[in-house]
């Protein structure tokens, strides 16, 4: 294997992801225990522990370690962002929203537990995310924990995640949706929570304001990147390859990057966003930044 100039082996992304995803999964497993009333906790665990790539929690931990923090400082936040992500998927899949039957290769939450339980399980995960950060974060000052809670709350509310969903819903089937509006949807619907994942990690790890803001810019780039790639995959991959219903953007008559600019230009945009993301990491220790660089590449090159 080639080594870098300081004699270190090259960064092994697969190994890194596997190791981090394992510790995240273990932490998630013990975060939501089976207790009465059983069915609602089963429903929470069903979706929370359904696998998934754990991109958000790993981003959170990687950002924490990049600014010099320990994994344990970021772990409650890492679990919390995954809880929020899961909650938004559960509610998004409901019949009154996207009406999806399949998620992460399994029947959706409401298909298994019913719509009522799916709504409640989502609400419970949302609340629990905040409780988990407030109660379980150790070795971090209260000031930083409070700041992290502010960032998370801002990113998932009506100025963040929910804003993206609202504009997304209201622009379905409407002609004349432009790039600007599409970018608004994705910056809110997808990028906001990725941003929160990275920002929470940086805050908990003790990052300076300047470091937190650089990582915020990085996260916004990979957030948009994530969605551009998602749009391309929805068009080019099968349901089986994706683990969720393919081509649903077309069926729902949703505006996408390939539809607005063609598939080639969409791929060019993806490369540009990845390059922009990487530039935000200049100035950080290059070895410590390797996981975030590799995560951006992974988001750019993933097949599902």
Q: Which residues sit at the interface with another protein, rule CB under 8 A?
A: 32, 35-37, 39-41, 44, 87-88, 91, 94, 96-97, 114-117, 119-124, 126-128, 130-131, 134-135, 142-143, 145-147, 149-150, 152-154, 156-159, 161-163, 165-167, 169-170
- Please check whether residue 106 is in contact with residue 173, taking contact to mean a CB–CB distance below 8 angstroms: no
Closer of 161 and 202 to another protein (Cβ): 161
Could you tell me where the DSSP H helices lie in 205-285? 209-236, 239-242, 248-251, 257-279
Which one, 162 or 235, has the nearer CB to another protein?
162
Q: CA angle at residue 125 from 103 to 227, to 5 degrees?
A: 45
Q: Which is nearer to another protein, 190 or 266 (CB)?
A: 190
> CB of residue 160 vs another protein: minimum separation in angstroms?
8
- What the block records as the tokens of 235 is 């068009």
Minimum distance from CB of 58 to another protein (Å)? 23
Residue 106's H or E segment, with its range, is: strand 106-107
- For the bound state, the minimum distance from the C-beta of residue 66 to another protein, rounded and expressed in Å, comes to 25
Smaller CB separation from another protein, 67 or 145: 145
The nearer residue to another protein, 120 or 229, going by C-beta atoms, is 120
CB 2 to another protein: min, Å: 46
Instruction: Quote the least distance from Cβ 146 to another protein, whole Å.
Output: 5
Rank residues 90 and 290 by Cβ distance to another protein and give the closer one.
90
Q: How far is the CB of 117 from another protein (least distance, A)?
A: 7
CB of 32 to another protein, least distance (A): 8
Closest distance of CB 75 from another protein, Å: 17
In order, the DSSP letters of 14-53 are HHHHHHHHHHHHHHHHHHS---SSHHHHHHHHHHHTS---
Which C-beta is closer to another protein: that of 14 or that of 35? Answer: 35
Query: What is the distance between the alpha carbons of residues 16 and 52, in angstroms, rounded to a whole number?
Result: 16
Using a CB cutoff of 8 Å and minimum separation of 24, what contacts does 252-259 make? 252/98, 252/172, 252/173, 253/172, 253/173, 254/168, 254/171, 254/172, 255/171, 255/177, 255/181, 255/182, 256/182, 256/231, 257/182, 257/227, 257/228, 257/231, 257/232, 258/231, 258/232
> Sign (positive/negative) of CA torsion 96, 101, 102, 106?
positive
Which residue, 122 or 207, has its beta carbon nearer to another protein? 122
Q: Is the dihedral of CA 214, 220, 223, 225 positive or negative?
A: negative
- Phi first, then psi, for residue 103 (nearest 5°) are -150, 130
**Which tokens hold the place of 181?**
């509006």
Question: Three-class SS of residue 195?
Answer: helix
């Amino acid at each position: 294997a080639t080594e870098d100039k300081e004699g270190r082996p090259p960064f092994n992304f697969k190994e890194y992801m596997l190791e981090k995803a394992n510790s995240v999964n273990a932490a998630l497993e013990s975060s939501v225990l089976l207790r009465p009333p059983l069915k609602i906790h089963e429903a929470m665990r069903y979706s929370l522990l359904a696998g998934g790539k754990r991109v958000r929690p790993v981003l959170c931990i990687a950002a924490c370690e990049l600014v010099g923090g320990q994994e344990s400082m970021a772990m409650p936040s890492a679990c919390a962002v995954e809880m929020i992500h899961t909650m938004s998927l559960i509610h998004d899949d409901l019949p009154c929203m996207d009406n999806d039957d399949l998620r992460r290769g399994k029947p959706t939450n409401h298909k298994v537990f019913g719509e009522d339980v799916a709504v409640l399980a989502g609400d419970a995960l949302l609340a629990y995310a905040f409780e988990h950060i407030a109660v379980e974060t150790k070795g971090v000052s209260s000031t930083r924990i409070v700041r992290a809670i502010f960032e998370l709350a801002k990113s998932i509310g009506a100025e963040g995640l929910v804003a993206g969903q609202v504009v997304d819903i209201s622009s379905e089937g409407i002609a004349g949706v432009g790039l600007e509006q599409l970018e608004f949807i994705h910056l809110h619907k997808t990028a906001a929570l990725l941003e929160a994942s990275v920002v929470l990690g940086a805050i908990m790890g003790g990052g300076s304001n300047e470091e937190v803001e650089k990582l915020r810019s990085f996260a916004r780039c990979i957030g948009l990147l994530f969605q551009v790639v998602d749009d391309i995959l929805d068009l080019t991959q099968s349901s089986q390859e994706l683990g969720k219903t393919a081509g649903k953007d077309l069926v729902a008559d949703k505006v996408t990057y390939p539809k607005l600019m063609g598939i080639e230009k969409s791929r060019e945009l993806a490369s540009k966003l990845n390059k922009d993301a990487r530039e935000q990491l200049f100035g950080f220790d290059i070895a410590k930044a390797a996981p975030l660089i590799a995560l951006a590449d992974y988001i750019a090159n993933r097949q599902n």
